[in-house]
Structure 1
Amino acid sequence: MTALPFLAGYPDSLLSQVRTLIAQQRLGPWLAQKYPPQRHEIQSDKALFAYIQELKQQHMKSAPPLSGVSYDSKINVVKHALGLHLTHSRVQGGRLKSKSSIQIASLFREAPAPFLRMIAVHELAHLRHKEHDKAFYQLCCHMEPDYHQLELDLRLYLTQQSLERTA
Structure 2
Amino acid sequence: MSDLKYLGAYPAVLQEQVRELIRADRLGVHLAKRYPERHAIQTDKALYAYANGIRQSFLRVAPAIDKVLYDSKLDVLHHALGQHRAISRVQGGKLTAKKEIRIASLFKDAPPEFLEMIVIHELAHLKEREHNKAFYRLCEYMQPGYAQFEFDLRLYLTHLDLSRG
Q: Give the TM-score taking structure 2 as reference length.
A: 0.96
Runs of 4+ in 1 over 6 A off after TM superposition: none
Cα distance in structure 2, aligned partners of 1:14 and 1:94: 55
**What residue number does 2:23 align with?**
23
Q: What code does the residue aligned with 1:58 have?
A: S
The equivalent residue for 2:108 is 109
Alignment of 1:17-166 (within 5 A): 17-36=17-36, 38-92=37-91, 95-166=94-165
**Counterparts of 1:104 and 1:152, CA distance in 2:** 18
**Which amino acid in 1 is paired with 2:42?**
Q
Unaligned runs of 5+ in 1: none
- SS of the residue corresponding to residue 85 of structure 2 reads strand
Task: Give the drift of 1:88.
Answer: 1.3
Q: Which residue does 2:14 correspond to in 1?
A: 14
Report the Cα offset of residue 8 of structure 1: 1.3
Between stretches 20-29 and 68-77, larger displacement belongs to 20-29
How many angstroms does 1:39 deviate by?
3.0
Separation in structure 2 between the aligned mates of residue 64 and residue 48 of structure 1, nearest angstrom: 17
Q: Secondary structure at the match of 2:41?
A: coil
Alignment partner, residue 5 of structure 1: 5
Deviation at 1:41, TM superposition (A): 1.4
Amino acid at match of 1:110: D
Distance 1:130 1:90 in 2: 21
Query: Following TM superposition, by how much is the alpha carbon of 1:89 offset from its aligned partner in structure 2, in angstroms?
Result: 2.0
**Counterpart of 2:34 in structure 1: which amino acid?**
K
Percent sequence identity over aligned pairs: 55
Cα distance between partner residues in 1 of 2:150 and 2:33:
17
Question: Partners in 1 of 2:151 and 2:57 — Cα distance?
Answer: 24
- The offset of 1:40, in angstroms, is 1.4
Please, what is the CA RMSD of the aligned residues?
1.2
Shift, 1:21, TM fit: 0.8
Q: Which amino acid is 1:28 matched to?
A: G
TM-fit CA distance, 1:94 = 5.6
In 1, the alpha carbon distance for the partners of 2:68 and 2:13 equals 38
Number of aligned residue pairs: give it.
165
Q: Secondary structure at the match of 1:127?
A: coil
- State the Cα distance separating 1:93 from its structure 2 match: 5.5
Q: Which runs of 5 or more structure 2 residues have no equivalent in the other structure? A: none
Give how far 1:157 is off.
0.4
